[in-house]
A and B are shown apart, each in its own frame.
Chain A
Amino acid sequence: MKLWIKVFLFSLTFMVLAVDIAAYTILTSDFSSTISRQTDQAMTQHESMSMMVSGQVLFERLRQSRLLLSSDEVAVILNEITGKRRRNVKDIYFYYGTQPISDTNSDLLDENPGFCNQVFNNEQPFSVIIDYDSKTYVLCGSHLTLEGNNYVIFTTYDVSNIYNQYNEQLRFVQIVSLGAAGITATIMLLFIYLSLKPLTKINQSIRQIAKGDYSLRLKKTGGQEFQELVDNINIMAQSIEQNVKEIQRVADGRKRFNVNLTHEMKTPLTSIMGFADILRIKRSVTPEERQEYASIIVEETKRLRSLSDKLLELTQVSHLPLDCIQLDADSFISDVCTAIQPLLAEKHLELTSQIQEGTVFYANPELFKSLLYNVIENAVKASGPKQTITIKCSNDSENVLFSITDQGIGMTPEEIENATDLFYTINPSRSKQKGGINVGIGLALCKEIAIRHNGTLKITSPPAGGTTISITLPRKRGG
Chain B
Amino acid sequence: MIHILIVEDDQNIARMIETAVSIVGYRTSLCGNGSTAVEMIMEHDYDLILLDVMLPGLDGFSVIQKIQGRNIPTIFISALQDVSDKVKGLRLGAEDYIVKPFEAVELLARIEVVLRRSNKGPKSLTYMDITVNIEEHMVKKCDKAIALTPKEFDVLVFFIQNTDIVLTRERLLSKIWGYTYQGESRTVDTHVQQVRRKMGLKDKLVSVPKLGYRLNRP
**B182 close to chain A: CB less than 8 A:** no
**B200 close to chain A: CB less than 8 A:** no
Query: Do B102 and A274 touch (CB < 8 A)?
Result: yes
Residues 76-107 of B at the A interface (beta carbon under 8 Å): 79-81, 100-105, 107
B165 cross-chain contacts in A, Cβ below 8 A: 281-283
Partner pick for B104 among A281, A292, A296, CB 8 A cutoff: A281
Query: Do B9 and A273 touch (CB < 8 A)?
Result: no
Closest residue on chain B to residue A283 by CB atoms:
B164
**A263 close to chain B: CB less than 8 A:** yes
Closest residue on chain B to residue A292 by CB atoms:
B15
- Report A269 CB to chain B, min CB distance, Å: 4
B164 cross-chain contacts in A, Cβ below 8 A: 282-284
**B166 close to chain A: CB less than 8 A:** yes
**A259 close to chain B: CB less than 8 A:** yes
Contact with A along B1-37 (1 / 0, CB 8 A): 0000000011111011101100100000000000000
Selected A-B contacts with CB under 8 Å, 18 pairs: A267-B13, A270-B16, A272-B101, A274-B17, A274-B19, A274-B104, A275-B16, A280-B211, A281-B104, A281-B165, A283-B164, A283-B165, A283-B217, A289-B19, A296-B12, A429-B55, A431-B56, A432-B11
Q: Which of B80, B101, B105 has the most CB of A within 10 A?
A: B101
Query: Do B23 and A270 touch (CB < 8 A)?
Result: no
B101 cross-chain contacts in A, Cβ below 8 A: 266, 269-270, 272-274
Contacts known (A263-B79, A273-B103, A296-B15); A278 close to B216, Cβ less than 8 A: no
**How far does the alpha carbon of A270 sit from the alpha carbon of B102 in the complex, in Å?**
6
**How far does the alpha carbon of A78 sit from the alpha carbon of B165 in the complex, in Å?**
152
**B41 close to chain A: CB less than 8 A:** no
- Report A257 CB to chain B, min CB distance, Å: 14
B216 cross-chain contacts in A, Cβ below 8 A: 283
**How far does the alpha carbon of A427 sit from the alpha carbon of B168 in the complex, in Å?**
41
B54 cross-chain contacts in A, Cβ below 8 A: 263, 430
Residues 129-164 of B at the A interface (beta carbon under 8 Å): 164
Partner pick for A280 among B9, B10, B166, B217, CB 8 A cutoff: B166
Closest residue on chain B to residue A259 by CB atoms:
B80
Query: Do B13 and A274 touch (CB < 8 A)?
Result: yes
Query: Do B13 and A270 touch (CB < 8 A)?
Result: yes
Going nearest first, the 9 A-B pairs with the smallest beta carbon separation are A429-B56, A274-B16, A266-B79, A271-B12, A281-B166, A270-B101, A273-B101, A270-B100, A283-B164
Closest residue on chain A to residue B12 by CB atoms:
A271
A429 cross-chain contacts in B, Cβ below 8 A: 9, 55-57
B interface with A by C-beta (< 8 Å): 9-13, 15-17, 19-20, 23, 54-57, 79-81, 100-105, 107, 164-168, 211, 214, 216-217
Partner pick for B103 among A277, A284, A296, CB 8 A cutoff: A277
Q: Which of A277, A300, A431 has the most CB of B within 10 A?
A: A277
**A293 close to chain B: CB less than 8 A:** yes
**How far does the alpha carbon of A268 sit from the alpha carbon of B105 in the complex, in Å?**
18
**A299 close to chain B: CB less than 8 A:** yes
Sample of 19 further A-B pairs with CB below 8 A, known A427-B56, A432-B10: A262-B80, A268-B12, A269-B101, A270-B10, A270-B13, A274-B16, A274-B102, A274-B103, A274-B107, A281-B105, A282-B166, A283-B216, A283-B217, A292-B15, A429-B55, A429-B56, A429-B57, A432-B9, A434-B11
Query: Do B19 and A293 touch (CB < 8 A)?
Result: yes
Query: Do B102 and A262 touch (CB < 8 A)?
Result: no
Contact with B along A242-277 (1 / 0, CB 8 A): 000000000000000001001100111111111101
- Report A294 CB to chain B, min CB distance, Å: 12
B107 cross-chain contacts in A, Cβ below 8 A: 274
A268 cross-chain contacts in B, Cβ below 8 A: 12
Query: Do A278 and B80 touch (CB < 8 A)?
Result: no
Residues 272-313 of A at the B interface (beta carbon under 8 Å): 272-275, 277-278, 280-284, 289, 292-293, 296, 299-300
**How far does the alpha carbon of A271 sit from the alpha carbon of B8 in the complex, in Å?**
12
- Report B102 CB to chain A, min CB distance, Å: 7
Query: Do B10 and A278 touch (CB < 8 A)?
Result: no
Query: Do B105 and A271 touch (CB < 8 A)?
Result: no
B102 cross-chain contacts in A, Cβ below 8 A: 270, 273-274
B11 cross-chain contacts in A, Cβ below 8 A: 432, 434
Query: Do A278 and B19 touch (CB < 8 A)?
Result: yes
Closest residue on chain A to residue B212 by CB atoms:
A281
- Report A287 CB to chain B, min CB distance, Å: 15
B211 cross-chain contacts in A, Cβ below 8 A: 280-281
Contact with B along A189-217 (1 / 0, CB 8 A): 00000000000000000000000000000
Partner pick for B105 among A263, A267, A275, A277, CB 8 A cutoff: A277
**How far does the alpha carbon of A277 sit from the alpha carbon of B138 in the complex, in Å?**
32
Query: Do B13 and A271 touch (CB < 8 A)?
Result: yes
Closest residue on chain A to residue B56 by CB atoms:
A429
A430 cross-chain contacts in B, Cβ below 8 A: 9, 54, 56
- Report A251 CB to chain B, min CB distance, Å: 15
Query: Do A278 and B9 touch (CB < 8 A)?
Result: no
Closest residue on chain B to residue A275 by CB atoms:
B16
A263 cross-chain contacts in B, Cβ below 8 A: 54, 79-80
Query: Do B23 and A282 touch (CB < 8 A)?
Result: yes
- Report B47 CB to chain A, min CB distance, Å: 21
Closest residue on chain B to residue A430 by CB atoms:
B54
- Report A190 CB to chain B, min CB distance, Å: 56
**How far does the alpha carbon of A232 sit from the alpha carbon of B119 in the complex, in Å?**
67
- Report B196 CB to chain A, min CB distance, Å: 17
Partner pick for B100 among A267, A280, A299, A432, CB 8 A cutoff: A267
